[in-house]
Structure 1
Amino acid sequence: MYTTCSKGIGRSAATLRRGLLGALLAYLLTCTGIAMFQDHLLYYPDRATVAEMVAGGLAPWPSATDFRGLLAEPTAPARGTAIVFHGNAGHAGHRQFYVDALSPRGLRVILAEYPGYGPRSGKVGEENLVTDAEQTIALAHGRYGGPLLIIGESLGAGVAAAASARARATITGLLLFTPWDRLEHVASHHYPLLPVRWLLRDRYDSTTHLAGFGRPILVVIAGDDRIVPARFGRALYDALGEPRRLSVIEGAGHNDWFDALDDAWWDQAVTFLLGSSR
């Protein structure tokens, strides 16, 4: 009887060990897959030709052969230039709504495009995108001067924060839609069982980048955002110095916040961001 029980316990222990080993192997394979293919989880570029992207009064900028984005001149007397860095999906041609909001308020609008998106060559990744954004800012400032507003949306908020920190002297104001404080916090929210802090290559640490920025920053949060939960935008706002302003769009999600913004909202946003430059 004792021998039979011992054998049963031994078999159960061996089965448990095999189960734990299998679970550990599956976990390690998952971590390896996340590490290897994380770019595919973060970046969703749409490819398009310059001809396909130019529509609705938009022009290739600075030219069709040296394409960095789309340009719309203001429909009111020019007050400055706004550069928009879009989110992680699609391409710059999908962001016409920024032109509709900003052009009547006297802002020249550049819908910046990333390497690897639209018609542009190059690889995605934080350093490539941020360095390219810094070059776009420098080119726009060299051509048009100030005031210069930088706008970032979701992933673009991380790009805008890092590039604006490098180009701080040329920036008048910064507008961030559905931003995060640090990408690792958002990744940990979506993958709570994975050691994302050690797996992530791209950090997009907007809190560190904007420390001591010293320019007007407007942080816009979607109250029901399930992709970048509002608490991460609030954490970024809380870490910022003045001048700063927070706008919470109650009831809005990550992809439908724009519909809640009326003319009065845009008037107040542009006035705050231009500050003494208006």
Structure 2
Amino acid sequence: MTRTALVIVAVLLLLLGLLWVFQRRLIYLPDGAPVPPAGEVIPGGRDVTFTTRDGVRLAAWYVPGEQEVTGLPTVLVTGGNAGNRRDRAPLAQTLVAQGLPVLLMDYRGYGGNSGTPTEEGLFLDALAAREFLGDRPVVYFGESLGAAVATRLALERPPAGLVLRSPFTDLAAAGRVNYPFLPVGLLLRDRFPVAERIGQVRAPVVVVYGTGDTIVPPRLSRAVAQAANASEVAVAGAGHNDLVMLNGDEVVGAVVELARRIGGSR
């Protein structure tokens, strides 16, 4: 029995060690394939590049809106842990149709960009995207994991407004939902604490979530909204990756309403 117990313990320790080493492959699911030119996907889209403070050169898409006429802010989209900017083109097209300029960025390792994603790296990527936009007013739109990136960016570079789509309180809380059999809190190297930071953001905040989300349960998003004293938009029955959570009326409406409120107050 003792020998059997030792073998079991050794196997468990080995598995935990492998999870520690390779955990970022479970967290970040980059589509690193090169993407086509912006103009082939979004009419009027432009290919742009910028360089992070640690020297990573990133490709992105910028799509002009009617900023000069409307005075509306630009929307900076920080995506979730999977896909690339091409997957978020429908969101950009819908926002641009409402007169909002959009910058679709990709993190390091995503969308043909070099580098390996980490919590610190994603923040530096978002910071470089914000610096690329200069002094204009910007609304940050953070999607899932990108909501954590946008929240940290909002502390470094305060936005005109912040929209968080399907945010979690922190990565460990989301991890416990998806991997309940693992000691997620002990294993994680990247933390992404949203709830403990969001209260320091000095900008209007809107939290959008699907009531049918099983990846980031609504209770986590509601907890973020409560910590931020934010407005909430609940999309009835929607799951985490449903199309309605990409460019549905409720999601787009939340961004447009906030942007117009900001534009009208300038």
Matched, 1:140 2:153: no
Shifted more, 185-194 versus 123-132: the winner is 185-194
Matched, 1:254 2:240: yes
Q: TM-score, normalised by structure 1?
A: 0.83
For residues 55-74 of structure 1, the aligned pairs below 5 Å read 55-57=41-43, 58-62=45-49, 67-74=58-65
Matched, 1:184 2:181: no
Distance in 2 between the 1:268 and 1:259 partners? 12
Q: Which residue of 2 aligns with 1:245?
A: 231
Shift in Å, 1:141: 2.7
Match of 1:31 among 13, 16, 23: 16
Distance in 2 between the 1:268 and 1:52 partners? 29
Aligned length: 255
Tell me the SS of whatever aligns to 1:255: coil
Matched, 1:162 2:162: no
Which structure shows the bigger proportion of residues in helix conformation? Answer: 1
Q: Which residue of 1 aligns with 2:196?
A: 208
Q: Which residue of 1 aligns with 2:29?
A: 44
Structure 1 contact 73–109 (Cα < 8 Å) conserved: yes
Letter in 2 for 1:85: T
For residues 78-93 of structure 1, the aligned pairs below 5 Å read 78=70, 79-93=72-86
Letter in 1 for 2:147: A
Percent identity (aligned): 30
For residues 1-20 of structure 1, the aligned pairs below 5 Å read 15=1, 17-20=2-5
Distance in 2 between the 1:40 and 1:119 partners? 17
Structure 2 contact 160–262 (Cα < 8 Å) conserved: no
Structure 2 contact 30–84 (Cα < 8 Å) conserved: yes
Distance in 1 between the 2:145 and 2:169 partners? 11
Q: Could you say if the C-alpha distance between residues 52 and 90 of structure 1 is closer, same or farther in structure 2, counting changes exceeding 3 Å?
A: farther
Tell me the SS of whatever aligns to 2:199: coil
Distance in 1 between the 2:139 and 2:201 partners? 14
Distance in 2 between the 1:30 and 1:138 partners? 41
Distance in 2 between the 1:201 and 1:259 partners? 29
Structure 1 contact 60–67 (Cα < 8 Å) conserved: no
Larger Rg: 1
**Structure 2 spans left out of the alignment, 5+ residues:** 51-56
Q: Which residue of 2 aligns with 1:107?
A: 100
Shift in Å, 1:195: 2.2
Tell me the SS of whatever aligns to 1:185: helix
Q: Could you say if the C-alpha distance between residues 274 and 201 of structure 1 is closer, same or farther in structure 2, counting changes exceeding 3 Å?
A: farther
Distance in 2 between the 1:221 and 1:196 partners? 23
Tell me the SS of whatever aligns to 2:133: helix
Q: Could you say if the C-alpha distance between residues 266 and 46 of structure 1 is closer, same or farther in structure 2, counting changes exceeding 3 Å?
A: closer
CA RMSD of aligned residues (A): 2.4
Shift in Å, 1:89: 0.9
Q: Which residue of 1 aligns with 2:143?
A: 153
Q: TM-score, normalised by structure 2?
A: 0.87
Distance in 2 between the 1:99 and 1:259 partners? 10
Distance in 1 between the 2:246 and 2:180 partners? 32
Tell me the SS of whatever aligns to 1:107: coil
Structure 1 contact 252–260 (Cα < 8 Å) conserved: no
Match of 1:235 among 223, 228, 251: 223
Tell me the SS of whatever aligns to 1:68: strand
Shift in Å, 1:21: 2.5
